Chain A
Amino acid sequence: QKEVEQDPGPLSVPEGAIVSLNCTYSNSAFQYFMWYRQYSRKGPELLMYTYSSGNKEDGRFTAQVDKSSKYISLFIRDSQPSDSATYLCAGSSGGYQKVTFGIGTKLQVIP
Chain B
Amino acid sequence: GAGVSQSPRYKVAKRGQDVALRCDPISGHVSLFWYQQALGQGPEFLTYFQNEAQLDKSGLPSDRFFAERPEGSVSTLKIQRTQQEDSAVYLCASSLVGAYSNQPQHFGDGTRLSIL
Contacts and interface: CB of A to CB of B under 8 A. Distances in A.
Interface of chain B: mostly helix, strand, loop or mixed: loop
A51 B101 CA distance: 12
B102 A51 contact: yes
Nearest to A89: B42
Interface string B43-65: 11100101000011000000000
Contacts of A102: 42
B105 interface: yes
Interface string B72-116: 000000000000000000010001001111111111111010000
Contact of A96 (B91, B99, B104, B108): B99
Interface residues of B, number: 29
A46 B105 contact: yes
26 contacts: A6-B42, A34-B104, A41-B109, A41-B112, A43-B108, A43-B109, A44-B43, A44-B107, A45-B107, A46-B104, A46-B106, A49-B104, A88-B43, A94-B100, A95-B99, A96-B100, A97-B101, A97-B103, A98-B45, A98-B48, A99-B33, A99-B43, A99-B45, A101-B42, A101-B43, A103-B40
Interface of B: 4, 31, 33, 40-45, 48, 50, 55-56, 91, 95, 98-110, 112
